[in-house]
Amino acid sequence: MEESQNYQILIFGAKTTGPSHIKKGLPCQDAWLSEVFADDSAVIAVADGLGSAEYSEQGAEIAVAAAVSSIKEHYSAVYEDGSRSKDLTKNDAMIREAFFSAVIEIEKYSGLKNIPKKELACTLIVILIDKNTVSVGQVGDGAVAGELLNGDIQILSRPAESEYVNEVTPITAENLPIKISLNANLKDIVNLAAFTDGCQRAVLIKKDGEYRPFIPFFKPLFKYSDSADDILAASEDVKSLLLSQKMTEVSDDDKTLVIATIKKGR
């Protein structure tokens, strides 16, 4: 049975400060965090602090930390009868909760430090890998692309619709529940890559108004991740890629790229 198989999950990635941020003396406003719970499940959170928000790099850090710890609780909580919280909670519900936790933590911090909530505004992508399924929630821009078992490369989560290139809705905006775009329990995914908008124009193309993954980017990237075994070295390679002229000439914004490889059995 598939459920009883072991999955090994490898996660690596990097974030880099965009040339335009360096020029303006701004910090990198992207943040990411991941955790592999057992061999067969993991969470990844990626956030991009808005350029218009003064302390958005702090908002982004708070958001990813809160999202990861919210999901982690479900995996560590064991009830008296021995059942685990995560077995009683649907994957999409866990993702939604991760978003609410992120906003609650941002609100708490906003109150504590007396910083208006909007100055902590950021986007957020939360990915939950649970055995052989992947669930993704997203508010704002950036995206997640994935490779299926049959080699197809698809978008698992796309940038939120926004007519203009420099406008985006953050998680701190009103009506969060309706803004979360959710794709739960996607099957047969062997590789995935989550990235912020600084990478978007280099790795996605738009055709007939629809975003599509740029295959000559993802195919080699996933081939690389298939054979990667040293997370630190692989993360360094991602960092070099993000800092390369190839990437910076398309966008001078901060860039984050996180890759997860899900290997079946051993």
Residue 251 interacts with another protein (CB under 8 A): yes or no:
yes
> CB 14 → another protein: shortest distance, Å?
11
How many of the other CB atoms lie within 10 Å of CB of 24? 9
Closer residue to another protein (CB): 53 or 184: 53
Residues near another protein (CB under 8 A), total: 47
Task: Give the full edge-to-edge strand order of the sheet including 189-195.
Answer: 7-16, 255-264, 189-195, 143-148, 153-157
DSSP state of 89: S
Strands (DSSP E) found in the chain = 7-16, 30-38, 41-49, 122-130, 133-139, 143-148, 153-157, 181-187, 189-195, 204-207, 210-213, 255-264
Residue 250 interacts with another protein (CB under 8 A): yes or no:
yes
Residue 252 interacts with another protein (CB under 8 A): yes or no:
yes
The one among 92, 107, 188, 237 contacting another protein by CB under 8 A = 237
Site string for another protein, 61-100 (x = CB under 8 A): ----------------------------------------
Tell me the CB-side half-sphere exposure of residue 129, using CA atoms within 13 A: 34
Tokens of 18: 């965009």
- Report CA-CA distances (Å) from 135 to 54, 110, 126, 184, 188: 31, 29, 8, 4, 12
Site string for another protein, 135-154 (x = CB under 8 A): -----xx-------------
Closer residue to another protein (CB): 97 or 119: 119
Amino acid type, 233: A
Site string for another protein, 176-205 (x = CB under 8 A): ---------------------xx--xxxxx
CB 169 within 8 A of CB 139: yes
Closer residue to another protein (CB): 207 or 266: 207
Span from 37-45, 64-72, 184-192, 250-258 in contact with another protein (CB under 8 A): 250-258
Residue ranges in contact with another protein by CB under 8 A: 18, 20, 48, 50-53, 121, 123, 140-141, 163-168, 170, 197-198, 201-209, 214, 216-217, 220-221, 223-224, 237-238, 240-241, 244, 246-247, 250-253
